[in-house]
Amino acid sequence: MRSPLHTVVPLRTVVPLRTVVPLALVASLTLVVLSGCAPEPTPSASNSSTPRASASPSASASAGAGGTSASPSPSASAVAGGGTPVTVACGSLVSAQTMYDFNPNFGLDDAFSPKSGTPAATAKADKGVACNWLNQTSGDTVTIAVAQPSATDLASIKASAAKGTAASGLGDSAYFSTSGQVGRVDVFDGKYWVVATSVYFSTAEDARTLVSSAVAAL
């Protein structure tokens, strides 16, 4: 007769309740302690107590404190030359017909630029007009310039011209002089100065028609 089979039931490990509770309590206390030891956040840059450097003074402020003035310097046009601009066109100063009557071979030189040191260059420097007519055959020229210099410059030019020979009937006063073969006529009419030069001017009378036309155009 066989012995009855016995069923073996596995045994589970049972942890007593009093052991589980203390372990959970210890874990909770550990978390509390660790959270209390966490470092405080670093203040942001915007909350920093470090003072900022004050803004530097503006250019206008430093100028008012005795520095260099910030106002713009005078423009070149305001300081170059003391004359009043003259805007008479060359064709109005001496008409084509007037020049033709003087000598039909002369034509207006539109590309004319006065040489430095000449009376025409002086007139241009005083904001005047300088015109030149070229003889198509000989290459000789007639140059007439008009300016309205400052009172000081006008007096200086007139004093220099007065060293020549006085000529009557031209403007308020007029003078004739020569340099080599070139004749020169300086005419002063009010605030204006008219100067004409050419090898065709042996006397002031030779330039009368042209100079009178220029004075009348002012």
Could you list the pLDDT tens digit for every one of the 218 residues in the chain? 444 444 444 444 444 444 443 444 334 434 433 444 444 444 444 444 444 443 433 333 333 333 333 333 322 222 335 799 999 999 999 999 999 999 999 999 999 999 999 999 999 999 999 999 999 999 999 999 999 999 999 999 999 999 999 999 999 999 999 999 999 999 999 999 999 999 999 999 999 999 999 999 99
Q: pLDDT at position 82, please?
A: 78
Contact assessment for residue 129 and residue 146, using Cβ atoms and an 8 Å cutoff: yes
Q: Scanning the structure block, which residue is given the tokens 């060359």?
A: 90
Q: Give the start-to-end residue ranges of the domains of the chain.
A: 90-216
Which contacts (CB < 8 Å, 24+ apart) does range 57-62 have?
none
Contact assessment for residue 118 and residue 131, using Cβ atoms and an 8 Å cutoff: no
Task: In whole angstroms, give the CA distance from residue 134 to residue 156.
Answer: 30
Q: pLDDT at position 141, please?
A: 98
DSSP state of 146: E
Task: In whole angstroms, give the CA distance from residue 139 to residue 141.
Answer: 6
**In CATH, which of 3.30.70, 3.40.1000, 1.10.1740, 1.10.287 is domain 90-216?**
3.40.1000
Q: pLDDT at position 81, please?
A: 58
Q: pLDDT at position 168, please?
A: 95
- The alpha carbon torsion through 27, 33, 34, 37 (nearest 10 deg) reads 180
